[in-house]
Amino acid sequence: MFLKKLTQNGLITVDYYTNGALQTLKGRVYRLNLKDQLLSLKDEKQKSFSIRLSSIRHIY
């Protein structure tokens, strides 16, 4: 379901859990590593973030 959102070129917003707290991140997908189950995003300032797919709560 959320893989369709990952293939689009625009900005996406991801709600995910880290250290027991819900975080929100807005950015563009630049890498999807299915072997390691990681999603890598770059925000508006070109800072990169890696999120485990299992910790994702919602993508919109």
Provide the pLDDT for residue 1.
Answer: 52
2-59: per-residue pLDDT in tens?
A: 666 676 778 899 999 999 999 999 999 988 888 999 999 999 999 999 999 999 999 8
- At which residue do the structure tokens 């299915």 appear? 34
| CA 60 – CA 50 distance, rounded (Å) | 17
Contact 41, 28 (CB under 8 A): yes
E strands along 9-53, which residues?
Answer: 12-18, 21-33, 38-42, 48-52
- Domain segments of the chain as ranges: 3-59
| CA 8 – CA 19 distance, rounded (Å) | 28
CATH class of segment(s) 3-59? mainly beta
